[in-house]
Structure 1
């Protein structure tokens, strides 16, 4: 297969991400969002929040991370963020899947993208922390706009959201966490969390 054909094969493989269903519904929809539209939504959130990124943040790098961070879900599917059991095994399987998918690209084009995937997962660089903040915040923003739809359906408690989402969002984009934090308490008062 020629190089252009390999790129086309890669892009068609990525199309399968549209079939990976998540647990949150898009605003005004009865269906659940898929991982491809989630990745696009995060990229747009990051671009919009760029003025609140830490000084010196390379936004191109952030966008690239957000576009590749969930491609492993083509093979593994999506798991609710709050599920603790099997997390290490899921991440290993997702890395193997990301490696498989990115290796479809010719001439080693996938290697730097896999490095970005790993950087995102490690969460140690300024860009990875900002990207992770976007990834953790977006479902929360949808839940706040959807009266806690996914939290109620999946038994997610206030403490889980504040405890697991708060630290990475506050570390990567403090202004966004400031916006969200008080709303989580109001959502609790409104009964928008599950009984998990």
Structure 2
């Protein structure tokens, strides 16, 4: 492959991921009625990771965490966004997402394609310190958004305290400190009447 062909592959990927900006999430921006898109979400998580890295349970390679967070939802270009509390569709790695990862990252030159598929798969597996901390960011941001929006999607989709605790407790795998903080916010949300218990 020539240097020019190598560059064309990279630019093709850059064009393709622009579509992430059009994928709307259920959660809304802080103190807003506008839905967040996947690009805004990924950017916000990457900044959060940089700021909150000191609270990770274990030392992390922050560049790898940032890479994970910037690319983790790229597969939604093909697979679509699945709401965390969806009662029908499972919010876990699916065959559709794996195929999407292979197609989208496959636009890159081979070495980069392998690297980014591996980083995406590492995030999905959530077993390394980096993946656990990245996943903690992914679960913390919507929690903060919903609180800022007086219950947000919790109220809109009748999400219960038990469901929130069940999904958000993943935070503790990446940061016990941030989980204690999140748990406090969740309990305060029940007291304020913006999250229903039982």
TM-score, normalised to structure 2's length? 0.91
Deviation at 1:179, TM superposition (A): 1.1
CA drift of 1:122 comes to: 0.6
Q: Structure 1 or 2: larger strand share?
A: 2
Structure 1 segments unaligned to the other structure (5+ residues):
none
Alpha-carbon distance in structure 2 between the residues aligned to 1:177 and 1:195: 19
**Preserved contact between residue 143 and residue 151 of structure 1 (Cα < 8 Å):** yes
- Distance (whole Å) between structure 2 residues aligned to residue 87 and residue 99 of structure 1: 20
Match of 2:114 in 1: 111
Corresponding residue for residue 191 of structure 2? 189
> Distance in 1 between the 2:125 and 2:146 partners?
26
- The CA RMSD measured in Å over matched residues stands at 1.9
Larger mean CA deviation between 105-114 and 66-75 belongs to 105-114
* Number of residue pairs aligned between Structure 1 and Structure 2: 195
Q: Tell me the distance in 2 between the aligned counterparts of 1:101 and 1:21.
A: 19
Does the 8 A contact of 2:78 with 2:97 survive in 1? yes
Contact 1:21 1:34 in 2 (8 A): yes
User: Is 1:142 paired with 2:142?
Assistant: no
Equivalent in the alignment of 1:39 = 42
Runs of 4+ in 1 over 4 A off after TM superposition: none
Is the contact made by 1:156 and 1:195 (CA closer than 8 Å) also made in structure 2? Answer: no
